[in-house]
Structure 1
Amino acid sequence: MALVEMAPVTLRKAELHASVGDPVLDTMNFLNEITHRYPQAVSFAPGRPYDGFFDVEEIFRHIRRYLDHLVEGGATPGEIRDALFQYGPTAGQIRELVADSLRKDENIDVRPEAVVVTVGCQEAMFLALRALFAGPQDALLVSSPCYVGITGAARLLGIEPTAVAEGQGGFRCADLEVALAAEKARGRRPRAFYVVPDHSNPSGSTMPLDERHALLDLAARADFLILEDSPYRLVSPGRQLPTLKSLDTDRRVVHLGSYSKTLFPGARVGFAVADQLVVDEDGRQGLLADELTKIKSMVTVNTSPLSQAAVAGMLLAADGRTSELNTETSAYYGEAMRAILKRLDECFPEPGRSALGVRWNEPAGGFFLTVDVPFPADNAALVRSAEEHGVIWTPMSYFYPQGGGEHSLRLSVSYLTQADIAEGTARLARFIASEAARTR
């Protein structure tokens, strides 16, 4: 019998979920492509920790330290084996250590049961959104410009975020109050507001203390939750302002955290602190963390026990104080930020800077700063920058959920040496001057 040759299946993109056509996914892929296409360019694009602080052999010592900790706690050989080789509890097997670290580092005092250990902070975002947003009437508001991870996760779940624009000085609670009123006027229920209050990605801005108190007060009055994502605090120099969660007396804040910046990104260990009470139809009470755990059981099942063991060993080595582990890294990133601000001043002295229409902010910490330029900082300009001047940056328009940032670019200093920063800024200055002349 003759075999009939069948044509391979072809899928129509229009029949896939709308999120696969989201421009954010295409733009980040484009940025990765540019980085690989021009490997000799100095790249201010990746928000990655500096490689110089990583030691491969340390990972084995971290895991051994955690295993010794289990022995000291009375674990049997079988239990220790399972702690590395088996799936482990969905909510995480190092919740006690995470809660202890949060208490010592951030003055966030919650029971271990309120912590869910996740696959990076990205999963924590996804779980929180899935649990909290029940239908199209629920509104997610985000401080804009905004980290693309939250907008991407929201759109995967069919949630269209509402942007609350930052001013020149960063987030202002009055602007959020206006946005909340607008959402309610549309018949929607503001459910949560997402914000990076410290050295934010992408703008580098930090929320003042009075605005933090005002935000918590507004959350109580307007009845919404705050999704706090603050990964850059403990890798920034100087004393940090208190987290929103540490100031939270009404359990309004779901704190989303990660060890990617403070310990190492390859572990992919994050967490959610969700101590909000949840009451079912029969009056039984639990925690929001329990609901996140149920969802996680159908998403990733659990977070890698090996990764948790490595992170746990690092926490044990510092007695839970990751801030002390990051004394050297905080100083390094602080010096990197000061270096690029100094170099920008040298490359764009006044009064020529103002005449050209170039300005930048001056973050006190974190990985990022933004530069305003007198031309469209789009993908075409990025290609010319990489190809003709050997420098890569990120268009700020990527980070505006509802449009904006067309004349701004984001620079990240975390992954570069001082020499890279000096050379890269000189190249950037030549590109900006060339592009400004081109568009006159």
Structure 2
Amino acid sequence: MNFLNEVTARFPDAVSFAPGRPYDEPFDPSVVAGYLDAYAKYLERDRGLSQRQVGGLLFQYGRTKGQIHELVAATVANDEGIEVSPESIVVTVGAQEGMLLALRALFRDSADVLLVASPCYVGITGAARLLDIAVEPVPEGPSGVDAAAVGAAAARVRASGRRPRALYAVPDFANPSGTSMPEGARRELLATAVEEDLYVLEDNPYGLFSRTGARTPTLKQLDEHRRTIYLGSFAKTCFPGARVGYAIADQPVVGPDGGVTLLADQLSKIKSMTTVNTSPLAQAAIGGMLVTYGCRLRALNEERIRRYRERLVALLAALRRHFGDDGAVSWNVPDGGFFLVVSLPFVADEAALTRSARDHGVLWTPMSYFYAGAGGERQIRLSCSYLEVAEIDDGVRRLREFTRAHR
């Protein structure tokens, strides 16, 4: 990330397919005040709180598990068909904190191993490194993580005398590959999780942004055995500056005294020793957005869904237009999300990226960044979320010039 930031700063006029951030839409700060007001009125009207109590919720330290948990529960029920108790939800500082909390709660010692799709989002592998958790890659296929590959990875781990503890997966429009798992593959993965005694950390930041409008049930919705810990975020669907996410952890935990609590309570205990609580004001802004749109993110995101769909379609069209006659260059066709992968006939490393930015004015991300070991050396990730449609075509034209010159 530091290298990408440095190259971007050096070549500010380059068309950049590198950032995986949301579109930089015009945003009126006064809108936040409206959402704060909507949330305050919800607390008074629906929760029966006095103005003084509302003020305390917004301006004091808050409940460690979060204060918008009931709204989050209603939202995942409306949008994803996930029916869980609000008490099984921990409101986090982005999904990234949810990953850290889940890893810290699940992994007991150096014998526990995390399975990750390969290639994989660097946030989870970075979190594992911070906690000294060993990682075992699971090769990703055209349809995402394959259940048989998970079983083989679990067998490798056990053969080494260690224990596979959990699997991290992004079933919908994964970062960086853009792949998605069909429903049948999801059911097979859940069956494997039961057989191998694995928890599944399901990360779903892009699920709303389908190119075709089709929806596949989340792992959490399909899960009948509570193997799935669901990680959500409002960064892409509301706004990233709030830094609000959530973890759904409804697994029962039996304590030393025989008492039963939820895994969410264990996450909360860890959170109390780290961030204490997620910003009440940030939660209130997100809560106000949810209240305003009836706890339905799909309604809130109609324009964003259209925008991201338009950009992914534009990127695929530009690749066909500029590379359609080049048999040495290929790419996948995601069903949604922000990303796709282009395979090149040469090594796409940091030196190549520097030449691409300097000589041709186009930036991308080397796929090798997303592999725990070797892999992705001749592939690049393109992100279309941050660009205008006209920039996408110009950027792909520049990418074609770079590939021609670099061979």
Which interval holds the TM-score relative to the shorter structure?
Answer: over 0.9
Deviation at 1:84, TM superposition (A): 1.4
Determine whether 1:47 maps to 2:46: no
**Counterparts of 1:431 and 1:149 in 2: how far apart (Å)?**
30
Q: How does 1:92-171 map to 2 (within 5 A)?
A: 92-171=66-145
Q: Give the count of matched residue pairs.
A: 405
Matched with 2:374 is 403
Of 220, 227, 231, the match for 1:252: 227
**Counterparts of 2:32 and 2:125 in 1: how far apart (Å)?**
33
**Counterparts of 1:65 and 1:363 in 2: how far apart (Å)?**
37
Contact 2:142 2:179 in 1 (8 A): no
Contact 1:235 1:262 in 2 (8 A): no
Of 108, 131, 155, the match for 1:181: 155
| Fraction of identical pairs, as percent | 55
Alignment partner of 2:380: what SS?
strand
Structure 2 counterpart of 1:266, one-letter code:
G
Contact 2:112 2:134 in 1 (8 A): no
| Unaligned stretches of 5+ residues in structure 2 | none
Matched with 1:271 is 246
**Counterparts of 2:119 and 2:182 in 1: how far apart (Å)?**
17
Matched with 1:427 is 398
Matched with 1:229 is 203
Contact 2:144 2:171 in 1 (8 A): no
Structure 1 counterpart of 2:4, one-letter code:
L
Alignment partner of 1:91: what SS?
coil
Question: What is the TM-score of this pair, normalised by structure 1?
Answer: 0.91
Deviation at 1:239, TM superposition (A): 2.4
Determine whether 1:290 maps to 2:265: yes
Matched with 1:33 is 6
Matched with 1:319 is 294
**Counterparts of 2:141 and 2:54 in 1: how far apart (Å)?**
52
Deviation at 1:77, TM superposition (A): 2.0
Matched with 1:385 is 356
Contact 1:204 1:369 in 2 (8 A): yes
Cα-to-partner distance string for 1:357-382 (whole Å, 9 max, x where unaligned): 21000111000000000111100001
**Counterparts of 1:191 and 1:170 in 2: how far apart (Å)?**
20
Alignment partner of 1:278: what SS?
strand
Contact 1:192 1:227 in 2 (8 A): yes
Stretch moving more, 110-119 or 185-194: 185-194
Cα-to-partner distance string for 1:41-84 (whole Å, 9 max, x where unaligned): 11101111112263322111111100111111221122111111
**Counterparts of 1:75 and 1:168 in 2: how far apart (Å)?**
51
Determine whether 1:64 maps to 2:37: yes
Cα-to-partner distance string for 1:257-285 (whole Å, 9 max, x where unaligned): 10000111000000000000000122100
**Counterparts of 1:167 and 1:75 in 2: how far apart (Å)?**
51
Structure 2 counterpart of 1:71, one-letter code:
E
Structure 1 counterpart of 2:384, one-letter code:
V
When residues 169 and 288 of structure 1 are mapped into structure 2, their CA distance, relative to the original with a 3 A threshold, is closer
**Counterparts of 2:40 and 2:324 in 1: how far apart (Å)?**
56
Deviation at 1:130, TM superposition (A): 0.4
Alignment partner of 1:234: what SS?
coil
- Determine which structure has more spread, i.e. the larger CA radius of gyration: 1
Cα-to-partner distance string for 1:103-158 (whole Å, 9 max, x where unaligned): 11111100010000000000000000001000011110001100000000000000
Matched with 1:198 is 172
Alignment partner of 2:341: what SS?
strand
Contact 1:53 1:329 in 2 (8 A): no
Contact 2:143 2:182 in 1 (8 A): no
Structure 2 counterpart of 1:396, one-letter code:
M
**Counterparts of 1:320 and 1:204 in 2: how far apart (Å)?**
27
Contact 2:150 2:192 in 1 (8 A): no
Contact 1:334 1:364 in 2 (8 A): no
**Counterparts of 1:170 and 1:107 in 2: how far apart (Å)?**
22
Structure 2 counterpart of 1:419, one-letter code:
A
**Counterparts of 1:403 and 1:134 in 2: how far apart (Å)?**
28
When residues 315 and 53 of structure 1 are mapped into structure 2, their CA distance, relative to the original with a 3 A threshold, is farther
Deviation at 1:168, TM superposition (A): 3.8
Contact 1:180 1:190 in 2 (8 A): yes
Contact 1:120 1:269 in 2 (8 A): yes
RMSD of aligned residue pairs (Cα, Å): 1.0
Cα-to-partner distance string for 1:204-248 (whole Å, 9 max, x where unaligned): 000111110001111111111000001101133402100000001
**Counterparts of 2:346 and 2:143 in 1: how far apart (Å)?**
22
Structure 2 counterpart of 1:67, one-letter code:
A
Of 277, 297, 302, the match for 2:277: 302
**Counterparts of 2:121 and 2:251 in 1: how far apart (Å)?**
24
Structure 2 counterpart of 1:318, one-letter code:
Y
Structure 1 counterpart of 2:61, one-letter code:
Y
Stretch moving more, 61-70 or 232-241: 232-241
Structure 1 counterpart of 2:33, one-letter code:
F
Deviation at 1:169, TM superposition (A): 4.1
**Counterparts of 1:124 and 1:168 in 2: how far apart (Å)?**
27
**Counterparts of 1:218 and 1:99 in 2: how far apart (Å)?**
27
